[in-house]
Amino acid sequence: MSEDTIFGKILRGDVPANIVYEDDHCMAFKDMFPAAPMHILLIPRKPIARLCDAESDDQSLLGHLMLTASKVADAQGFGDAYRLVVNNGEGAGQSVFHLHLHIIGGRSLSWPPG
């Protein structure tokens, strides 16, 4: 269950994190192994393992995450050049099975990603 992931522990305060934003529905903190000068993870408090496990009831939560990602990027000084990434499943590089948005910026980002 995703409650038992490292992100569940961060949400519960059992593991420290560099938290930059939180509200009733989500929390954002700095990635421990940043892939760019600016790399924040935004997670819902609800323990959804993967994006594909989200249900229609989660629609407003998913919308809230998108809007919050934009707000966090602005507050953290990403300007208007940043990328949101959701790795869904092991084959796509997901290593922590608690849904999270990577907010990445602070350098030029090429496309397509690897």
Q: Which spans of this chain sit near ligand AMP (rule: CB under 6 A)?
A: 6, 15, 17, 31-33, 41, 87, 93-96
Nearest approach, Cβ of 84 to ligand AMP (angstroms)?
12
What is the C-alpha to C-alpha distance for residues 72 and 60, in angstroms, rounded to an integer?
Answer: 18
As measured in angstroms, the least distance from the Cβ of 13 to ligand AMP is 13
Element spanning 66, H or E: helix 59-75
Query: Smaller CB distance to ligand AMP: residue 41 or 68?
Result: 41
100 assigned to active site: yes
Q: Whose Cβ is closer to ligand AMP: residue 56's or residue 73's?
A: 73
Residue number, 33 or 111, with CB nearest to ligand AMP = 33
Can you list the positions of beta strands (E) in the chain? 19-22, 26-30, 38-44, 82-85, 101-105
| Cα separation, 6 vs 10, whole angstroms | 6
Q: How far is the CB of 50 from ligand AMP (least distance, A)?
A: 9
- Paired strand residues for 26: 44
Q: Which residues are known to be catalytic?
A: 100
